[in-house]
């Protein structure tokens, strides 16, 4: 059913991945300018203005695709094995996405030595945690259905 707990965990995972589009992953102050890396690109902040220096369009599209995959998986509640497989695929894609983000983080001016890791760098770990909790909920549903089938 859609009211199961794994739906909530998958929703939280999708929201967490969507936050990568707005929350900076890495920030740095180099040459008197502040730089931020978000999933959509590298931004330079001078005073009150924010200017995009470089666009990370493939990373942006991949982030949206993984978030949509988590949201769509909520409505796959009738087929628990498929829901579990898509959840495992989401975990693998989030791991790849976080590796890809770390590769783009190396492009920040001044390098990673001067960079500060922001909350955005920890969001993929939180999303993976939510998906693991969803897989656990799917397994509990499977156990419940099997025990109910034994009683018939």
Give the DSSP H or E segment for 54. strand 49-55
Closest to 69 (Cα-Cα) out of 13, 125, 24 = 13
Percent of the chain with pLDDT over 70: 95
| 44-63 pLDDT, tens digit each | 888 788 888 888 899 899 99
Phi, psi (degrees; rounded to nearest 5) at 23: -95, 130
Q: Which two tokens stand for residue 130?
A: 């939510």
> Roughly what angle, to the nearest 10 degrees, separates helices 123-151 and 5-19?
170
Q: Which two tokens stand for residue 6?
A: 């794994």
What does the angle CA 64 – CA 70 – CA 72 come to, to the nearest 5 degrees?
100
Q: Which two tokens stand for residue 120?
A: 């955005």
With contact defined as beta carbons under 8 Å apart, do 124 and 98 qualify? yes
Query: Is the pTM of the predicted complex or chain greater than 0.85?
Result: yes
With contact defined as beta carbons under 8 Å apart, do 35 and 43 qualify? yes
Q: Give me the helices (H) in 32-122, please.
A: 57-74, 80-105
Q: Which residue has the tokens 């730089």?
A: 35
Chain-centre distance of CA 95, in angstroms? Answer: 9
More confident position, 4 or 93? 93
5-151 is a CATH 1.20.140 domain: yes
Closest to 68 (Cα-Cα) out of 82, 54, 89 = 89
Residue range 26-54: mean pLDDT, rounded: 84
């Amino acid at each position: 059913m859609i009211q199961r707990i794994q739906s909530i965990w998958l929703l939280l995972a999708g929201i967490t991945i969507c936050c990568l589009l707005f929350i900076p992953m890495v920030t740095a102050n180099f040459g008197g300018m502040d730089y931020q890396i978000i999933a959509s690109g590298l931004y330079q902040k001078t005073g009150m203005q924010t200017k995009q220096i470089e666009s990370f369009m493939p990373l942006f599209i991949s982030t949206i695709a993984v978030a949509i995959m988590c949201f769509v998986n909520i409505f796959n509640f009738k087929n628990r094995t498929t829901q579990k497989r898509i959840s495992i695929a989401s975990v693998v894609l989030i791991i790849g996405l976080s590796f890809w983000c770390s590769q783009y983080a190396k492009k920040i001016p001044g390098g990673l030595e001067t960079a500060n890791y922001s909350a955005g760098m920890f969001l993929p770990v939180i999303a993976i945690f939510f998906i693991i909790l969803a897989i656990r909920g799917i397994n509990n549903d499977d156990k419940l259905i099997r025990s109910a089938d034994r009683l018939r």
